Amino acid sequence: EHIRGTECDQKIFSRKESNGTIYAPNYPFLYHSNIMCKYFLYGLQDAQNLERINFHFEMLQIPTKDVNECTDAYVRLYTQLQAMDEFDYVFCGETIPPPVVSDGPLLLVVFNSGSTQGQGFKAHYWFETDYKIMGTQASPGQCHFSYLSSGSKSGDFNSPRHPSNYPSNTYCIFEFFGEPDEQVKIVFNQFKFSDAEVASLSVPGYNEICTHDWLEIYGVDSGTGREQFYGRYCGFTAPGPILTETGVSQIKVIMNTDENEVSSGFSATYKFDRASDRL
């Protein structure tokens, strides 16, 4: 959407995980000198949605005497709301820059042609759901994260957007993979799942009583893949510290929320442990 009263500024709004391409003016022909264009990319941000922006250059051709300077002609990226002289990235020359991911639902791209003429740039962008979860995401847009002992022996994980409320109608998987001689320990620091029925009955939120928003935990035998059900939890009933038995080096945590009320969810820590180290 072209911004009225400007030569080439654009606003681009997400249509939920949508994508597209932006170009320098006159691309693929030479741009004119002394032109500045701003491209505002807006991801979704409301009670149900939170997005971030992935930005990948496909072509860059901005003449420069020194690619370490980029003071005359350039593309600048701002990954959050900030002053114009506080950009996060600046690119020029002809080397394709690495991909950039915004810190939140806004990305500003500024192209300045300066005194130069060139083809400029071509870049692909896409909006993706931002769960605000540490971990290795199985694939873009999915709430499926894995944690490998070979990557880190301990760390944190949490429900989407914690400490803010998680969205409704969400299904998340957290998988922990230890070495064969390791056990997995999980400790919940905060736990709050919305369940009016459990609250009205004043009973612990455990197993079959949890039918709305809940968390399930499974131990997984790395040799056979056999899953051992540890329990389903909801309301304010946080699981106690979970430690897999000897020989069980994997844990799977599943989070499910329905279309009704939401809450802050959980925060937890994990640790991969060798039994011999505790002796």
pLDDT digits (tens, 9 = 90+) for 122-139: 999 999 999 999 999 988
51 found inside a domain: yes
Same structural domain, 192 and 110 = no
- Percentage with pLDDT > 90 across the chain: 72
What's residue 108's pLDDT? 96
- Out of 129, 155, 176, a domain closes at 129
Instruction: Specify the residue for token string 């009670």.
Output: 47
The CA distance from 120 to 113, in Å, is: 8
3 found inside a domain: no
Range of the domain at 40: 10-129
Q: What is the CATH number of the domain that holds 93?
A: 2.60.120.290
4 found inside a domain: no
29 found inside a domain: yes
Residue 199 scores a pLDDT above 90: no
pLDDT digits (tens, 9 = 90+) for 210-227: 889 999 999 998 788 889
The beta-carbon contacts of 9-13 under 8 Å, at least 24 apart in sequence, are 9/37, 9/38, 9/39, 9/40, 10/37, 10/38, 10/39, 10/40, 11/40, 11/42, 12/39, 12/40, 12/41, 12/42, 12/125, 13/42
pLDDT digits (tens, 9 = 90+) for 29-49: 999 999 999 999 999 999 889
What's residue 174's pLDDT? 98
Q: Would you say 155 and 269 are in contact if contact means Cβ atoms under 8 Å apart? A: yes
Residue 81 scores a pLDDT above 80: no
The CA distance from 201 to 182, in Å, is: 40
| Close Cβ partners of 252 (under 8 Å, ≥ 6 residues apart) | 173, 174, 175, 176, 217, 218, 220, 227
The CA distance from 104 to 113, in Å, is: 27
Q: How many domains does the chain have?
A: 2
Same structural domain, 151 and 273 = yes
Residue 82 scores a pLDDT above 90: no
Q: To the nearest whole number, what is the mean pLDDT of the chain?
A: 91
pTM: 0.82
Same structural domain, 97 and 160 = no
